[in-house]
C-alpha cells in the first residue's frame, strides 16, 4: 500500500526546522500539508505567516499544547504531514454569528464539500461557538460521515492565532479538512460513573449553574469532600477537577465526559455544553483504566481494516491526570501498529462521531483515526 | 430509579424545545436536534400534512388519498442523501399515518424507525440502530401531545403572519399603483404633482432652485401606428429605463402622459449660470440616452425627443404654472425642430396666446364661411384649359386675404385641417356640379383638390370622398385628388389601398410636389395615380439650371414610362414653358398662364 502521507518530525521549536520539514514534504511530492505544532515553539507570527503564505500547497493544521510522535509526547517541535491526497480545506471564520445566521453560513459554506464523507476538524479551542458549529455541520453533512479532530490552542487562555492556513495563522476559526479517502475512527475514555444522577436545573452553554436546584459547585464539593475528607483549600478545584469530571450518559449507556475547567465557587464551567434538564454524573477513573480504554481504542481501530496514517487526538487533561504515565497510554496505542508511525496532538477537547453517528465535542477522551 | 429519572430528564429536555420559537421550522429543528442528542438517534424526521404550496396545515383534508410530506430532518442527510428524497422512508411514514397505531417500530435496511403520530396531522420518525425501550416510547407520548399543540399554535401563527404579510403586500401594491405608472414603473402624474408641490415649498424654505423637464418623444406615434401598441409600450418601457439610468438618484422621473415624461430636479444652485449648466448637462445626457437606437425583438427603432423646462425658486408659481410653462417650452422646442430643448420664457406664452387666438379665428372663419375656393387653371401646350387646382383662400374680415402658408400649418396641428378639408371637398364638388351644368369644352377634364395627411389617415377617407361625389351628383372623373409624395409615403400600403378604391370609383389621383419627397420609385409603380406634378422648385429657371432641366427631364420620362400624365407647376416665364415643351411636358400651371382666380372668373376663362 502506498503511504497516504509523508511524515516529517522535528523536536526543535525552530521555525527553520519547520521550514525544512515543509520543503522536504513538498519535494517528496505531497499534495497538501497538515501541520501539528507545539504552543511552546512560540513561533514569531510574522515569520511563520511568511512561511505559510509562501507555501505552494494547500495547508492546514493547528498549534496544540503538545504533539505526539511514535508513542511519545513532546512539548516542543512540529509534525509535518505531507498528504498524498488532495483534500478540500474550508475555514469557517464567521462563527460569532447568532444561531440562525450561523446555520445559514455553515450550510452555504459547506456546499463545496457536501459530497465528502470523511473529515478532520481542527478548531480554535477558545472559540465559544465550536459546539454550535459541530451541530450545524452535522445537520448539513448528515449521519454516516466519519470525523476526527480536536481543539487547538494554549492552556493559558492566551488568545493567539492557532490555526494554520495558506493566508497565515488565524484565530477564532474552525477548519474542516475534507479527505477524498475513507477515515476509520475509534473513540474511548476510560471514565466510569461515581455518583449521580443529578438533574441539571440551570445551565447555559458551557456553564452549569445548578444541579438539583443547588449551586453546582456546592454539590460537586460535597461529593468530593465526602470521599476525600478534605477541606476546601485554595487548590481544591485544581486538585480534584481533573480527577472528577462530569458525565452525561446516553440512552445506550455511552458516557459523554464534560471536563470542568473553572469555577467561581458557585457554577462550574466545562469544556462543552451541558443542556438544562440533562442528567449528569460525577465520573472517576484510574491510570490503568484509562490505559485499558486506550488499548481498546487501538484494538477497535485495528479491527476496522486497512491502516495507513494513524492520527491521534488525545485530551490534554488526560495528560494532567496521568502525569508521566501518559507515555504508557501513547505506547499502548502505538504498540498494535508496530510498522505505522503514530502522530497526533494533545488537544483541548476532541471531536468525533459517536457510534450513533452524531458528531460530538468530547472531553478527556482519545480519538484515533486512520486514513 | 435512575432509569426513571433519565426518562424524565429526556422528557423535560424535549419539552423545553417545544414552543421555544413561534416559527414552526425553527421550533421543530430545535426539537429534532434534541431528539437526536438525547435519544441517541442517527436521524430524526417530521412529516406533516401540507397544502398545495407545501405549507403545513393541521386540519386533515377530506381527501382519503392524502399523503404526508417531508417537512424537516435533523440531520438533513444520511450517507450524503437528503432525507427529503428518501422515498422508502416516506412510504413507511405514510403507511403508519393511515393505520390506527399511535406508536410503531419498523425495521428497514439496518435502521429502526420509531414512529409517533403528531396529532392527526403529522408523524415523528426517530431513526436508531437499537430499539427504544417501551418505557421511553411511552414517555414520549405526552411530549408528542405537547408537540402537536405547539405545532398547531405555530401553524396558526404562521398563517396569521402570512395573512398579515399578504395584506401588507396588497396595501403596498395599492399604494404603489396609486403613485406609479403601470407601464413603466415610473411615478405617475399625480405623484409627480405632489412631489413638485413639496419641491416648490422646499425651494422657498431652503433658498434653492428646482426645475421641471418635460420630455416628448418625437414621432413616437408612427411606431404605435405602424408596429402596434405592444411595440410602442416596449419603446416606452425602454425609454423609461434609460431615463432612470441616466438621471439615477439626481432626479425624480414620472411618465406624464402618453409619450411624455417628466423629470423633477431639486436642490439646484440659486445662481442662474450654475443652475443652467447642471440642467443643460442633464438634458444632454437624456437626449443622448434616448437617441441611441432601441433594439427590440420587432426590430431596431430610433426615437428622438424635444424638451421644455421651467425652473422655480419660490412659491410665486403654482404646480400647474410650472407644468404649463414647461409644456409651452416643450411645444416651442417641437416647433423649432432643430432645438432639442428650450427653457420657458414669458414671450412663449404671448406667442402661444396669439396662436390660440389665431386657431379660434380659423374656427370662427369656418363657421362664418369666410373661406373661399379659388382655382388656378391648368393648360395644355395649345393653351386649352384642361383643369384647375382648387386653392383655399381666407378672406379675413380684419386682415384681408391671409396667406395659406400661415394658417394651413396651424390648422394641421389640430383637427381643424379636417374641417377645412371637408369644406374644400364639398365646395369643389358644388363648383364641379355648376361646371357640369355648362357646356364644357372637351379639353377640360377636372378640378383637383389637395388632401392633407390627416385626411388621408382617417379611416373613412375613401367613403368621405365617394359620399361627397354622390351627394353632389357629379361625375367622379371630374374630381381629382392631389396628394404629396411625402404624405403618401407615410403609410404607403394604406395609401395604395385607398387610392385604388377611389380609382375604381372613378376619382383620379395626382402626385403633388413630385421630386422633393425622394420616395421609392418602386412604390410609384404600384400607386394608381394618373398625374405627376413636377414641383415648382425644378421648374423655376429650368431653362438656365442644367440640373433642374435634367431632373425635370427624368420625371417626364418616368411619367411616360408609367403611362402617367405630367404637369409642371410654377411656370412663370415663356422660356420655362419652351424648355418644358422641349422636354416633352405638355401640361402647365403657373402665373405665366393665370393666377388663382375666383370660381366665376374660372367660368369665364373656360368659356373663353
- What CATH number does residue B59 fall under? 3.30.450.40
User: Are B577 and B514 members of one domain?
Assistant: yes
**Domain stops at, among A242, A266, A284:** A284
Do A230 and A261 have their domain in common? yes
Helix segments in chain A, DSSP class H: 15-27, 45-54, 99-109, 130-141, 216-228, 236-241, 287-303, 316-322, 326-334
Report yes or no: B136 at the A interface, CB cutoff 8 Å.
yes
Written as nine digits, the cell of B424 is 374644400
Spell out where B313-359 has E strands: 341-343
What is the domain count for chain B? 3
Q: Are residues B467 and B578 in the same domain?
A: yes
Residue B169 lies in a domain: no
Question: Binning pLDDT at 50, 70 and 90, where does residue B51 land?
Answer: confident
Domain boundary among A239, A258, A284: A284
Q: Looking at the structure, do residues B44 and B156 belong to the same domain, yes or no? A: yes
- Closest among B38, B196, B32, B230 to B122, alpha carbons compared: B32
Examine the domain organization and report whether B151 and B220 are in the same domain: no
H/E run at residue B436: helix B416-436
Whether B382 and B337 share a structural domain? no
Residues B13 and B103 in one domain: yes
Over residues A177-181, mean pLDDT: 95
Other residues' Cβ atoms within 10 Å of the Cβ of residue A37:
27
Per the domain annotation, does B181 fall within a domain?
no
Structural contact between residues B386 and B565, judged by C-beta atoms closer than 8 angstroms: no
Residues A272 and A301 in one domain: no
Of B486 and A195, which is predicted with more confidence? Answer: A195
How far does the CA of residue B45 sit from the closest CA of chain A (Å)? 12
Most confident of B196-200, B409-413, B484-488, B534-538: B196-200
B3 touches chain A (CB under 8 A): no
Mark whether B560 and B473 lie in a shared domain.
yes
Minimum Cα–Cα distance from B82: chain A residue: A142
A184 and A198 part of one domain: no
pLDDT at B480 over 60: yes
Domain hosting residue B284, numbered range: 189-344
The length of chain A, given as a count of residues: 371
Query: Are residue A58 and residue A184 in the same domain, yes or no?
Result: yes
The cell for B374 is 379659388
> Which range among A111-115, A353-357, B306-310 shows the weakest confidence by mean pLDDT?
A353-357
Asked if residue B168 is part of any domain, the answer here is: no
Residue A177 shares a structural domain with residue A143: yes
Q: What is the ipTM of this complex?
A: 0.90
Which cell numbers in the block locate residue B322?
410650472
Same domain, A297 and A352: yes
Is the Cβ pair B80, A114 closer than 8 Å? yes
Distance CA(B537)–CA(B513), nearest Å, equals 9
A83, β-bridge pairs: A5, A32
Determine, yes or no, domain membership for B439.
Answer: yes
DSSP state of B133: P
Of A266, A284, A302, the last residue of a domain is A284
What is the structure's pLDDT at A3?
66
- Which of B312, B344, B376 is the endpoint of a domain? B344
How many CB atoms within 10 Å of residue B463?
11
pLDDT digits (tens, 9 = 90+) for A1-49: 556 789 999 999 999 999 999 999 999 999 999 999 999 999 999 999 9
A94 shares a domain with A16: yes
pLDDT, tens digit (0-9, with 9 covering 90-100), for B396-435: 877 788 888 888 888 887 788 999 999 999 999 999 999 9
Are B254 and B180 a contacting pair, CB within 8 Å?
Answer: no
Instruction: Tell me: do A328 and A230 sit in the same domain.
Output: no
* B97 touches A at CB < 8 Å: no
Q: Do A187 and A146 meet the contact criterion of CB atoms below 8 Å apart?
A: no
In a domain? residue B184:
no
- For residues B534, B540, B545, B546, the Cα torsion angle rounded to the nearest 10 degrees is 20
| Residue B67 included in any domain | yes
Q: Are A109 and A245 members of one domain?
A: no
Beta-bridge partner residues of B582: none
Residues B566 and B418 in one domain: yes
Q: Specify whether A12 is located in the same domain as A94.
A: yes
Same domain, A106 and A126: yes
Q: Residues B538, B551: contact at Cβ < 8 Å?
A: yes
B175 assigned to some structural domain: no
A interface toward B at CB cutoff 8 Å? Answer: 100, 114-115, 117, 135, 138-144, 197, 199, 249-252, 254, 275-279, 354-358
Disruptive mutation site among B40, B111, B135 for chain A (greatest number of A CBs within 10 Å): B40
Q: Are residues B415 and B555 in the same domain?
A: yes
**Does A143 contact B40 at a Cβ distance shorter than 8 Å?**
no
CB distance B151 to B58 below 8 Å: yes
Which residue in B531, B534, B529, B503 sits closest to B517, CA to CA?
B534
Greatest extent of chain A over all pairs of C-alpha atoms, in Å: 61
- Measure the CA–CA gap between B540 and B552, rounded to whole angstroms: 11
Among B344, B379, B397, give the residue marking a domain's end: B344
Which residue from A minimizes the CA distance to B40? A356
Among B286, B320, B344, which residue terminates a domain?
A: B344
Rounded CA gap, B342 and B326, in Å?
9
Percentages of chain B per state (helix, strand, coil), in multiples of 5: 50, 25, 25
Q: Any idea what the CATH number is for the domain that residue B305 is in?
A: 3.30.70.270
Could you tell me if A23 and A128 lie in one domain? yes
Neighbours of B197 (CB within 10 A): 14
Question: Is the pLDDT at B517 greater than 60, yes or no?
Answer: no
Section B466-473 average pLDDT: 95
Sort out which chain B residues have CB atoms less than 8 A from A279's CB and list them: 5-6, 9
The total of structural domains in chain A comes to: 2
Do residues B576 and B541 make contact, with C-beta atoms less than 8 angstroms apart? yes
Provide the residue range defining the domain that includes A143: 5-188+289-370
**B337 and B372 housed in the same domain:** no
Amino acid at each position: 500500500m502506498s503511504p497516504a502521507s509523508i511524515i516529517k518530525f522535528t523536536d526543535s521549536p525552530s521555525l527553520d526546522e519547520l521550514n525544512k520539514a515543509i520543503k522536504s514534504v513538498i519535494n517528496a511530492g505531497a499534495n497538501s500539508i497538515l501541520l501539528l505544532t507545539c504552543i511552546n515553539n512560540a513561533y514569531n507570527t510574522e515569520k511563520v505567516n511568511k512561511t505559510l503564505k509562501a507555501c505552494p500547497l494547500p495547508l492546514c493544521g493547528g498549534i496544540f499544547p503538545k504533539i505526539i510522535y511514535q508513542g511519545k509526547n513532546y512539548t516542543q517541535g512540529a509534525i509535518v504531514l505531507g498528504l498524498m491526497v488532495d483534500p478540500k480545506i474550508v475555514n469557517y471564520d464567521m462563527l460569532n454569528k447568532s444561531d440562525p445566521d450561523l446555520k445559514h453560513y455553515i450550510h452555504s459554506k459547506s456546499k463545496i464539500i457536501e459530497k465528502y464523507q470523511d473529515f478532520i476538524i481542527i478548531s480554535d479551542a477558545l472559540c465559544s461557538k465550536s459546539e454550535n458549529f459541530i451541530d450545524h455541520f452535522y445537520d448539513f453533512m448528515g449521519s454516516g460521515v466519519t470525523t476526527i479532530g480536536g481543539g487547538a490552542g494554549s492552556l493559558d487562555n492566551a488568545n493567539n492565532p492557532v490555526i494554520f492556513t495558506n493566508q497565515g495563522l488565524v484565530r477564532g476559526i474552525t477548519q474542516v479538512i475534507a479527505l477524498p479517502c475513507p477515515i476509520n475512527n475509534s473513540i474511548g475514555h476510560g471514565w466510569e460513573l461515581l455518583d449521580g444522577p443529578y438533574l441539571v436545573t440551570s445551565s447555559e452553554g458551557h456553564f452549569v449553574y445548578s444541579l438539583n436546584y443547588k449551586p453546582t459547585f456546592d454539590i460537586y464539593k460535597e461529593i468530593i469532600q465526602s470521599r476525600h475528607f478534605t477541606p476546601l483549600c485554595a487548590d481544591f478545584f485544581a486538585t480534584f477537577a481533573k480527577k472528577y469530571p462530569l458525565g452525561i450518559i446516553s440512552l445506550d449507556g455511552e458516557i459523554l465526559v464534560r471536563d470542568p475547567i473553572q469555577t467561581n465557587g458557585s457554577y462550574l464551567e466545562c469544556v462543552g455544553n451541558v443542556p438544562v434538564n440533562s442528567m449528569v454524573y460525577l465520573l472517576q477513573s484510574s491510570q490503568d483504566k484509562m490505559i485499558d480504554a486506550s488499548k481498546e481504542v487501538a484494538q477497535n481501530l485495528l479491527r476496522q481494516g486497512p491502516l495507513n496514517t494513524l492520527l491521534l487526538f488525545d485530551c490534554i487533561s488526560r495528560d494532567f491526570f496521568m502525569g508521566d504515565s501518559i507515555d504508557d497510554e501513547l505506547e499502548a496505542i502505538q504498540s498494535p501498529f508496530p510498522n505505522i508511525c503514530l502522530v497526533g496532538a494533545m488537544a483541548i477537547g476532541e471531536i468525533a462521531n459517536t457510534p450513533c453517528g452524531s458528531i460530538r465535542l468530547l472531553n478527556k477522551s482519545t480519538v484515533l483515526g486512520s486514513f | 430509579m435512575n432509569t426513571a429519572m433519565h426518562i424524565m430528564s429526556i422528557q423535560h429536555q424535549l419539552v423545553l424545545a417545544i414552543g421555544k420559537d413561534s416559527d414552526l421550522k425553527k421550533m421543530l429543528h430545535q426539537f429534532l436536534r434534541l431528539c437526536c442528542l438525547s435519544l441517541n438517534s442517527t436521524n430524526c424526521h417530521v412529516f406533516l400534512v401540507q397544502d398545495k404550496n407545501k405549507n403545513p396545515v393541521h386540519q386533515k383534508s377530506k381527501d382519503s388519498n392524502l399523503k404526508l410530506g417531508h417537512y424537516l430532518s435533523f440531520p438533513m442527510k444520511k450517507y450524503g442523501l437528503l432525507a427529503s428524497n428518501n422515498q422508502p422512508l416516506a412510504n413507511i411514514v405514510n403507511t403508519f399515518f393511515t393505520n390506527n397505531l399511535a406508536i410503531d417500530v419498523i425495521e428497514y435496511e439496518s435502521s429502526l424507525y420509531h414512529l409517533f403520530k403528531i396529532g392527526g396531522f403529522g408523524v415523528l420518525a426517530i431513526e436508531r440502530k437499537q430499539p427504544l425501550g417501551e418505557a421511553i416510547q411511552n414517555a414520549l407520548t405526552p411530549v408528542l401531545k405537547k408537540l402537536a399543540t405547539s405545532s398547531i399554535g405555530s401553524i396558526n401563527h404562521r398563517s396569521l403572519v402570512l395573512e398579515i404579510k399578504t395584506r401588507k403586500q396588497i396595501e403596498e401594491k395599492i399604494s404603489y399603483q396609486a403613485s406609479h405608472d403601470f407601464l413603466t414603473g415610473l411615478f405617475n402624474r399625480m405623484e409627480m404633482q405632489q412631489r413638485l408641490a413639496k419641491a416648490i415649498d422646499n425651494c422657498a424654505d431652503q433658498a434653492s432652485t428646482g426645475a421641471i423637464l418635460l420630455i416628448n418623444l418625437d414621432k413616437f406615434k408612427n411606431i404605435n401606428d405602424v408596429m402596434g401598441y405592444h411595440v410602442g409600450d416596449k419603446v416606452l418601457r425602454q425609454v423609461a429605463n434609460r431615463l432612470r439610468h441616466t438621471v439615477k438618484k439626481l432626479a425624480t422621473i414620472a411618465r406624464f402622459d402618453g409619450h411624455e415624461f417628466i423629470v423633477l430636479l431639486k436642490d439646484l444652485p440659486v445662481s442662474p449660470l450654475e443652475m443652467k449648466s447642471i440642467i443643460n448637462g442633464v438634458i444632454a445626457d437624456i437626449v443622448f440616452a434616448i437617441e441611441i437606437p432601441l433594439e427590440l425583438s420587432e426590430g431596431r427603432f430610433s426615437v428622438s425627443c424635444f424638451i421644455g423646462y421651467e425652473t422655480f425658486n419660490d412659491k410665486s408659481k403654482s404646480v400647474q404654472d410650472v407644468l404649463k410653462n414647461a409644456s409651452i417650452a416643450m411645444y416651442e422646442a417641437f416647433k423649432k425642430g432643430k432645438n432639442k430643448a428650450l427653457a420657458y420664457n414669458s414671450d412663449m406664452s404671448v406667442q402661444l396666446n396669439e396662436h390660440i387666438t389665431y386657431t379660434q379665428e380659423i374656427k370662427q372663419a369656418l363657421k362664418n364661411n369666410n373661406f373661399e375656393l379659388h382655382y388656378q387653371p391648368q393648360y395644355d401646350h395649345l393653351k386649352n384649359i384642361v383643369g384647375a387646382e382648387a386653392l383655399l383662400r381666407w378672406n379675413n374680415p380684419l386682415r384681408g386675404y391671409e396667406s395659406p402658408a400661415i394658417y394651413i400649418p396651424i390648422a394641421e396641428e389640430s383637427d381643424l385641417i379636417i374641417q377645412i378639408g371637408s369644406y374644400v371637398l364639398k365646395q369643389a364638388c358644388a363648383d364641379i356640379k355648376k361646371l357640369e351644368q355648362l357646356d364644357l369644352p372637351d379639353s377640360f377634364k377636372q378640378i383637383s383638390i389637395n388632401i392633407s395627411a390627416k385626411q388621408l389617415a382617417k379611416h373613412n377617407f375613401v367613403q368621405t370622398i365617394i359620399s361627397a361625389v354622390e351627394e353632389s351628383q357629379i361625375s367622379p372623373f371630374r374630381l381629382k385628388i392631389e396628394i404629396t409624395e411625402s404624405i403618401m409615403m407615410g403609410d404607403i400600403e394604406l395609401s395604395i389601398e385607398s387610392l385604388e378604391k377611389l380609382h375604381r370609383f372613378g376619382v383620379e389621383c395626382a402626385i403633388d410636389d413630385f421630386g422633393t419627397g425622394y420616395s421609392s420609385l418602386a412604390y410609384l409603380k404600384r400607386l394608381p395615380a394618373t398625374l405627376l406634378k413636377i414641383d415648382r422648385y425644378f421648374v423655376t429657371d429650368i431653362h438656365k439650371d442644367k440640373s433642374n432641366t435634367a431632373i425635370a427631364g427624368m420625371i417626364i420620362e418616368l411619367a411616360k414610362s408609367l403611362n402617367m400624365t405630367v404637369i409642371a407647376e410654377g411656370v412663370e416665364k415663356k422660356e420655362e414653358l419652351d424648355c418644358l415643351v422641349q422636354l416633352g411636358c405638355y401640361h402647365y400651371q403657373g402665373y405665366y398662364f393665370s393666377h388663382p382666380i375666383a370660381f366665376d372668373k374660372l367660368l369665364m376663362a373656360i368659356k373663353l
